[in-house]
Amino acid sequence: MKQPLQYFIAGALLCTTSLWSYGQTAKATISNDSKLVISKHIYGQFAEHLGRGIYDGFWVDKNMPVKKQDRIRMDIVEALRKIKIPNLRWPGGCFADEYHWRDGIGPRANRPKMVNTNWGGVTEDNSFGTHEFLELCNLLGCEPYISGNVGSGTVQEMSNWVEYLNFDGASPLTNLRKVNGHPEPFKVSFWGVGNESWGCGGNMTPEYYSNEFRRYAAFAKDYHDAKLKKIATGPSDADYNWTESLMKNVGTRMWGLALHHYTLPTGDWKDKGSATQFTEADYFKTMQNCLKMEELVTKHSAIMDKYDPAKKVALVVDEWGIWTNVEPGTNPGFLYQQNSMRDALIAGTNLNIFNNHCERVKMACLAQTVNVLQSLVLTKKEKMILTPTYHVFDLYKVHQDARFLPMKLDAPDYELNGQKIPAVNASASQDASGKVHISFVNLDASKDITIKANMGDINWNNVTGQILTSAKLTDINTFEEPGKIKIAPFSGAKKEGGIVSVVLPAHSVVVLELKN
């Protein structure tokens, strides 16, 4: 089996020189010889107790005039069900390592308040806790992914949480769950053993955390048909030593290793740049930083391969997305930012990278779902808008659990001020009904690019498509104009024998469907 990296596309490592000028047509070849599957869990989401993500996001005041189930906002639920989100990570993030789950169960009037020291220093009433989160996942039709408290919690606390949720026999914790309204076990499989233990989760060394993981994981038990998938804190960005240490000291005791990487427009944490006010030069640098994900996934995977050649351990990119300065006038601890056409291109590019590394990347979670960072949904009182990023997930949902089709693409370069990045990235898959889907992202700010993709021995008769683009990279959806950027039919592709020829408009995301 050839590795997907040999075919891939858009990474900065693979396209260091331009093979095609803009006056020419780029060529691609799609292979039909892979048995790999693009896990649906690559399309996961993240909902932390941060800003207006939970409170005034998913969980609203009982008097707000919107459709609700209990206090769960149903227009958000319905939007997320449409794009088939497969999992939702909660309660953090940094918040996870100061969260004590017993404070969030039982009668809400009796739950103690707590200070969210990581995000804005606000006081929370714990009205949204374990049962509320799992009801939200039930309404969404997705799997819960719970991050346990390793930083300020105890082994017993996490062990008890697992038992409370998953044990179906007789025990004090099972009885407590029944008293709190849920007789049957929840059967939660995905468990994070801490979060960012190298930073806000405890400032640990990789060697120390490796021992902590082994200790916590030993007491997080499998109960009957609720087998745990334990996910270890992995590296931040290019901390390859962390990955080396965890793979050496933990190895296949973990189901997954978490990688966190954010696209910073400026590359500077102190001044990350605006979400809406940027030049083409700013955009170009942002996309350079975005494409670093290819290098990170490749290099971390190579280290994992040394210790786990059978690829039993998943690389879980459970925090990714663009991180800009907050919107002017908003609480800096709430991380509320707008979402532009640039962000849609970032989303499509990252998802293509994950798809093309599906032999190792089995799960990912966009940061975050509602009102925080690169959100899918933004709300303002009873109003709700879907962001350009949401529409990319809508377009790409066709890849979930589909068979991966490796692609070799000779992409032209996008050049600016003497620097180059690959102008196009892409991924392809075939679903259970035989339909082939190809997702293209044209990063060039101003030039259309033609791709001629040889489909080899794949049988197909016609091609249709959808596109997401806008007049300007800085365009956004607003509460006054919520449909400025939306999916539209695409007619720029045609069949030429066994080749699909497609003209990709500048700064666009295009998904083609080929079928008999």
Residues for the chain: how many in total?
516
Per-residue H/E/C for 37-50: EECHHHHEEECCCC
Q: One-letter amino acid identity for 99? A: Y
218 Cβ contact list (under 8 Å, min separation 6): none
Q: How confident is the model at residue 13, as a pLDDT?
A: 33
Q: What tokens appear for 415 in the block?
A: 């050049």
Q: What is the pLDDT of residue 465?
A: 98
User: Distance between CA atoms of 264 and 320, rounded to whole angstroms?
Assistant: 11
pLDDT, residue 225, reads 84
Q: Which domains does the chain have, with CATH numbers?
A: 39-271+314-335+363-398 (3.20.20.80)
Question: What is the model's pTM?
Answer: 0.94
Signed CA dihedral, 283, 324, 478, 376: sign only: positive
- pLDDT means over runs of 10, the chain (516 residues): 37 35 72 96 98 98 97 98 98 98 97 96 97 98 98 98 97 97 97 98 98 98 94 98 98 97 97 98 98 98 98 98 97 97 98 98 98 98 98 98 97 95 98 98 97 96 98 98 98 96 97 97
Q: Which residues are catalytic?
A: 196, 319
Alpha-carbon distances of 124 from 73, 120, 129, 133, 413, rounded to whole Å: 18, 11, 11, 15, 49
